[in-house]
Structure 1
Amino acid sequence: MEKNILAQMLQEYDSFTRSERKIVDYVLEHQKETQYISITDLSAECEVAVSTVSLFCRKLKLAGFNDFKLELARAALPAGSNVSQLTGEILPEDTPGLVMGKVLHTVQEELNNAYHMLAAPSVTRAVDLLRGAGQVICLGQGNHSVVALAAWAQFSTTSPKFKTIQDSHMQAVMLSTLTREDVVLYFSYSGATHEVLEAAEIIRSRGARLILVTRYLNSPASAYADTVLLCGPNEQPFQFGSSAALIAQLYVVEVLLSEFVRRDPEGAERNRRSVGKALTQKCV
């Protein structure tokens, strides 16, 4: 029988450093919470460096912290159970009608959570930056590139200064030519990927501003941001980018758009009339 991560940590406990034992002690006491926590928050809880957590994961022969959370989730699964039971989502015996109800309940709950997580002063600051920007670049990676595309599509009907680009190489090109008047609206659930940190470094070097939409206030990328918009569910390690996280971020987009338009309804209406006139030519 394959040994789970909890058993492995206990077996190798004496071989760990003092800092690594702090991590083990915390994880054993807060097993469920650790499945949702960020690497930055875990390091703060254990009073160790982020690099110590990374090295600890590699010592366990894991690819990184996300891999560690996956193994921790597997260790929590009862024998014979499956991922859907762990996440509390759709079960094999559910009827289509029950599936519809569960999905509706989940969406409603996540929108409510997004509302309570989002801080009004952060929204005000973000829209101040958007309105004062020379150009606004909407960016995201993986699933969140879809949110960046949606944000650009929504805002572009109200102002010509909003842009986006999907190719990672062209993103680097665009970021490297930013000016101090420019703003980047970046969507990242963790705020801890190589892509967002590399982008943040370039944005700072160019003197541009960064609005970060993320789940974790203390994420590494948050240190670079001019304002952070918090939203998103506690994703299970097995979800790999949930629809609930996208829905929460789309809610933030709608809030930003509504406040952006509220401050200059006449200007937004002029742009929307021009867009509407052009789009009528597309209709049969």
Structure 2
Amino acid sequence: MGKDIIALMIQEYERFTRSERKIADYVLEHQEETQYVSITDLSAQCGVAVSTVSLFCRKLKLAGFNDFKLELARAALPARAAFSEPGSEITEGDSAAAVMGKVLSAVQDALNNAYHMLSEQEIIRAADLLRRAGQVVCLGQGNHSVVALAAWAQFSTTSPKFKTIQDSHMQTVVLSTLAEGDAVLYFSYSGATHELLEAVEVIRNRGGKLILVTRYPNSPASAYADAVLLCGPNEQPFQFGSTSALIAQLYVVEALLSEFIRWDPEEAEQNRRSVGKALTQKCV
């Protein structure tokens, strides 16, 4: 792309429809904030349909909304470097100790943010869905599949009904055999991937329950979830799954696990003793 996205929007402004001008006006006024919102959030802020945002992006010769956010972030790089708080970003001249301190600060901020975003009522609702389910499948795509695996590893020590599947085709197989009331614990930062929306359709058709761990309350999948556990920092488009986002999700896993155990501590303790006894045989 020759011109940056801001210059291109200004150049094409007179050719936009009235609805598209609403999007352009909002983005030009909230360039920094737009980098962190979902397509549904932007459509709501501008009072237009999600499809209008998609058409707006394609009119700018972009593949879609994520591509638009990438270009927006690229255009903002000089401004971010000029106006960011001194010492907030890791620089080439930092010592290893300075890098360690800045990473620690970022992680602490992510955990504090996750704590304030997470709803007590949603945690209680999610734990109840887990308790009532005949089986629980922990799922995620990309980096978030690691969190799903970690969630399964934690919950499986308290109950045999938890499982996880890494292969996308086998995920579809497992979801298509859910029983009514079975639960799916799904990790997705955006809540708007094709894999997740396809999974949502299968889960609904089977009468399953969806517990969604995501950053955006108005994401497409959130509308169909039975419980939405919000967490996650504002990721820049170039981060593609930051460690801070994964740490925030792991915090949610630990909070949900603790609430789940609180429902029936005796069963959880019995299972954990059994697991602990078996695992001691693997130690030298």
Under TM normalisation by the shorter chain, which class is it?
Answer: over 0.9
Corresponding residue for 2:73?
73
1:112-127 aligned at under 5 Å gives the runs: 112-127=112-127
Which amino acid in structure 1 is aligned with residue 215 of structure 2? R
1:2 to partner: Cα distance: 3.0
Q: Which runs of 4+ in 1 moved over 6 A?
A: none
Which amino acid in structure 1 is aligned with residue 232 of structure 2? G
Corresponding residue for 1:208?
208
Corresponding residue for 1:2?
2
Corresponding residue for 2:266?
266
Which amino acid in structure 2 is aligned with residue 186 of structure 1? Y
> Structure 1 residues 79, 48: CA separation in 2 closer, same or farther (over 3 Å shift)?
closer
Corresponding residue for 2:218?
218
1:1-284 aligned at under 5 Å gives the runs: 2-78=2-78, 88-284=88-284
The more displaced of 60-69 and 149-158 is 60-69
In angstroms, what is the RMSD of aligned CA positions? Answer: 1.9
Task: Indicate if the aligned counterparts of 2:215 and 2:232 stay in contact, CA closer than 8 A.
Answer: yes
1:69 to partner: Cα distance: 0.7
1:164-183 alpha-carbon deviations (Å, 9 max, x no partner): 00000000000001111200
1:81 to partner: Cα distance: 5.7
1:91 to partner: Cα distance: 1.0
What number of residue pairs does the alignment pair up?
Answer: 283
1:79 to partner: Cα distance: 8.3
Task: Indicate if the aligned counterparts of 2:88 and 2:102 stay in contact, CA closer than 8 A.
Answer: no
Task: Indicate if the aligned counterparts of 2:158 and 2:261 stay in contact, CA closer than 8 A.
Answer: yes
Between the aligned partners of 1:129 and 1:153, the Cα distance in structure 2 is 19
Between the aligned partners of 1:157 and 1:81, the Cα distance in structure 2 is 46
Task: Indicate if the aligned counterparts of 2:183 and 2:211 stay in contact, CA closer than 8 A.
Answer: yes
Between the aligned partners of 2:38 and 2:159, the Cα distance in structure 1 is 36
Task: Indicate if the aligned counterparts of 2:5 and 2:72 stay in contact, CA closer than 8 A.
Answer: yes
1:41-67 alpha-carbon deviations (Å, 9 max, x no partner): 100011111011011111111111111
Which amino acid in structure 2 is aligned with residue 139 of structure 1? L
Between the aligned partners of 1:250 and 1:233, the Cα distance in structure 2 is 13
Between the aligned partners of 1:76 and 1:150, the Cα distance in structure 2 is 35
Task: Indicate if the aligned counterparts of 2:189 and 2:213 stay in contact, CA closer than 8 A.
Answer: yes
1:217 to partner: Cα distance: 0.4
1:102-137 alpha-carbon deviations (Å, 9 max, x no partner): 111111111111000001000000000001110000
Q: Give the unaligned 5+ runs of structure 1.
A: none
SS in 2 for 1:268: helix
SS in 2 for 1:99: helix
Q: Give the unaligned 5+ runs of structure 2.
A: none
Could you tell me the TM-score, scaled by structure 2's length?
0.96
1:77 to partner: Cα distance: 2.0
Between the aligned partners of 2:181 and 2:50, the Cα distance in structure 1 is 33
